Structure 1
Amino acid sequence: MEFRIFYALLPLLIITGGTAFAQESLLSVETDDNNYDEGDTIVIFGNVNTVIGDTPVLIQIVNEGAIVEIAQITVGQDGTFTKIIIAEGGVWKKGGDYTIRAFYQEHIAESEFTFTPKSQMTETTTNFEVDAGSKGTFDVEYTIKGGTVKNIVVDSEIFALIVQIDAIDEGTITLDLPREFIGAEKQDGKDDTFIILIDGIEVAYQESVVGSDSRVITINFEQGDSDIEIIGTYVVPEFSTIAVMILIIGIMATIVMTRNKIQIKI
């Protein structure tokens, strides 16, 4: 009895399976390349085996669940369709694998490609001129990948340089910090570690070069980060806050000692 049921259902399974495969082959979608850089032209093309009136093909380009592009494409009388998209602007910011999904009534087809934004293609290395107040200016050489540097300012109250960035993707920034203007030192004059805060949260950093004139550090950041605080024990040491406090304490101590001497003589 069980064998009879199996053989009775077998033709249905074959028909169902054949229909599924036929449906998959009714629609196809491809691109003219497998890898694109920001600014490239993406040519999307495909074919519909059975044209259904004026029904268009709906195209979605998806990255990690987010829709990057969406379009309707007119199908030609021969069943072909083509769409040209420029990979830039909008949400074309994140590198990785992208999926093209084509919809034609109940039929779905997919294709994949890899996208690389400009932030991942090149690194920017240049100098930034930092305002040092009455000391003029000084240069900080940096290399950034994944964003751009908007500004670098001195915060003398916390002995820090604040690097303001536009992080369009996760990346890194390497800074060559001149000892003359910023440093982190122990009481014995030996190097101490910097405190690095990104938008108020402490993060780790790597130090690659320790020279007599500068220290080179590298900091990783995430997409959307903005302020990187590099806190040391001094910044632009021209009567810094600590020096002023020490001077005031010294003056006050001298005054007190002088008064005591005068009282003793009287």
Structure 2
Amino acid sequence: MNTCTTYSLFAVVAAAGLLGAGSAFAQLNPACPNCEGDPRELAEEAVLNAVPLSVWLDQATYGTGDVITITGHVAHTAADVPVTIKIHSPSGNIVWVNQLAPDENNEFEIQVASESWSETGIYQVLAQYGHPSKDNKAQFMLTSTSSVMEVADCGMSMVAIEDVCLEYEIEGGMVTGATVNQGDTSLILHITADDNGKLSVTFPVEVLEEVFLVLVDGEESDDVMIDGQSVHVYFPAGAESIEFFAAKVIPEFGAVAAAVLAVALVSIIVVSARSRLGLVPRI
């Protein structure tokens, strides 16, 4: 073995030793040795601090007369600057406005009574802190009867209709509520659509029988497939309602002209910019 080969072998062995030591050192030392607290709580706090203003509601659906709890967080506060909250009705009118100061934890909470609101549908909650660029919004469904009712134990992506769990799948938005229209023998699923998407639902005979027509925002949809009790319908971004007309709507669910159905759990599907209607596989 010549001198050059000896030096090369020594260099390889030394480099391997350094890499092994570095790996052992990384395993012995945590990524953040000075951090204290639950990692999940720290992550949630980091997300809140990254968003200038956050706002959320305690429910997705309320009935007329229910109390709506609005909660939020301001990432960075300034002295004597309040949070302004406005609520817009489905027709766009401002039905409630108020200002409040964040607490010492930069959080705020306020309760709003809805008994004076006669218009049903999707309401927008707009929160603003100081400059107009620091704003955020949430939305909820207001129905004509109280949303306080016994709900079946349903799982993800289901709407509870008394003791029947109506399962659905949705891409590009979320289901916010449902209404039975006994007079027109139809069921309306209220949705919010951030993107083009698709709703699939199989109706139990306890709810609807023989679906023959589907409307999206009041217009007959030609992008729908009805296969017995299963219905697949595509909707555009911004759609708010999908109405299913059937030969029969079970009377038990239509004793009131517009019986309101509570949502057991809203499944929010976040769709990337690549998830467009043309990319959704047709059935």
Question: Counting helix residues as a fraction of each chain, which structure ranks higher?
Answer: 1
Instruction: Tell me which of the two structures has the higher relative contact order, counting C-alpha pairs closer than 8 angstroms and 6 or more residues apart.
Output: 2
TM over 0.5: no
